[in-house]
Copies of this chain bind each other. A is one copy, B any other.
Amino acid sequence: MLTQNSPESTSPAKRERRKQARPGELLAAALDLFVEKGFAATRAEEVARRAGVSKGTLFLYFSSKEELFKAVVRDSISGHFPVWNAEFETFTGSTAGMLRQFMTLWWVRVGATKASGITKLMLSEASNFPELAAFYQQEVMAPGQALIRRILQRGVDSGEFRPIDLQYGVYSVLAPMIFLLTRKHAMGCCAGGNDDLVPEVYIAAQVDTLLNGLCRAPSSTPPSLKKTQST
């Protein structure tokens, strides 16, 4: 989370301190509840109560429930992009290593944290809240995909990767991330009895497959697709 909340302060300027901390406390409470119950099912009053304030106070800091949600997204995810992107600006290793690091860090920073719940939430409720969906698309999806695309482009440019279609390549990287979120938040909670998926291992395996494919040899790869290409 971006905000640093220090709810327990007893110094002289107590009121001011509280005011500084309020948004962070509300954001934290909102993140918890949104992830736990979804956007529509989370009641504004409950967010306020969990943050230890009254209903009215919530609206003092966030003009509507939707604005609160946007703030949560910014605080949990999109606010970090500048830093995260910067790390890759200066990456010097192989592009394969870069892709591995991207997915690994994504898991550590988003997938494994509460922030991942936000993405799952969008998957679930986007269609009912078009404005939020647009916001998320613009604030999170677009920058994220841009970064993936830059990595793939680098691999193609350097000759490390085959000259693939970039957009579909991006989706190939995205798919396992979405899959993990789905496991964790939707099916995972009660999927099978066997917890047979260790995310870190899955990501490693996924990167491996992504880079090298399932096939043993270069083989006589079929001329892939002479089919559909329907529109």
Contacts and interface: CB of A to CB of B under 8 A. Distances in A.
A100 to B, nearest CB: 7
A95 to B, nearest CB: 9
A227 B169 CA distance: 13
A108 to B, nearest CB: 9
Interface stretch (A1-9, A22-30, A215-223): A215-223
B224 A189 contact: no
Copies in the assembly, this chain: 4
> Which one of A161, A175, A192 has the highest number of Cβ atoms from chain B below 10 Å of its Cβ?
A175
A231 to B, nearest CB: 5
Interface stretch (A51-59, A64-72, A78-86, A125-133): A125-133
Nearest to A195: B231
Nearest to A174: B179
A164 B205 contact: yes
A155 interface: yes
Interface residues of A, number: 85
A88 interface: no
Contacts of A167: 196-197, 228, 230-231
Contacts of A105: none
B200 A211 contact: no
A37 interface: yes
A104 B227 CA distance: 10
Contacts of A209: 164, 169, 172, 210, 213
A125 B124 contact: yes
Contacts of A160: 215-216, 219
Nearest to A219: B218
**Interface-central residue, A37, A133, A221, by most chain B CB under 10 Å:** A221
Interface of A: 37-38, 40-41, 94, 96-97, 100, 104, 122-128, 130, 133-134, 136-137, 141-142, 152, 155, 159-169, 171-172, 174-176, 178-179, 182, 185-187, 189-192, 196-198, 200-202, 204-231
Given A37-B127, A162-B215, A196-B230, 13 more contacts: A38-B128, A126-B186, A134-B190, A160-B216, A161-B215, A165-B225, A165-B229, A172-B176, A175-B179, A210-B214, A212-B213, A221-B224, A222-B224
